[in-house]
Amino acid sequence: MQRGDLALTTAIAGILLAGAIFGFFYAWVCSTMWGLDDLDPRVAIEAMQGMNASVRNAVFFPAFFLTPFVLGGAAFLAREASGRAALLLGAAALVYLVGGLILTMTVNVPMNEDLAATAVPATLEEARRVWDDYSPRWQVFNQIRTVASGASLLLAVLGLVSLARGR
């Protein structure tokens, strides 16, 4: 396989991963959290604890952790064929790394771990206080990582187009 073909293949793989993680974050924005917010907060807390515990799995791992590395690899491989493509793919990797992966690890994951360590309150009032302290802030940062991963996906697609035209 020639280096240009390898760059194209790697860029496509990066786009698939970026699209998967964008879709994952987006689903939390447009349905999951709204649904949880409409539930009894005791149920919402327990459901969120369960979802957060289940997300650390082999299916989630590639999209969440490998996206910036695959896109960075595509940028490296594309640099001879198209400087513009390399720049766009590198920007895609950096945007997701900072706005998706690092943001999640430094904000959303610690919030999830704090919620996991919280016993589901027995009273509705206490549960509402816990959920109201958690959900709005978590959603703001989820929206940021959704926008960042969407921007990363867009940059990666533009990089692929540039690479394909530069051949």
pLDDT digits (tens, 9 = 90+) for 87-133: 999 999 999 999 999 999 999 999 999 999 999 999 999 999 999 99
Q: For the chain, what are the domain ranges?
A: 3-166
> What pLDDT score was predicted for residue 166?
83
pLDDT, averaged across the chain: 96
Q: Tell me the pTM.
A: 0.94
Which two structure tokens, joined as six digits, stand for 8? 């194209």
Q: Which residue type does 12 have?
A: I
Please list, in sequence order, all residues whose beta carbon lies within 8 angstroms of the beta carbon of residue 132, skipping any fewer than 6 positions away.
41
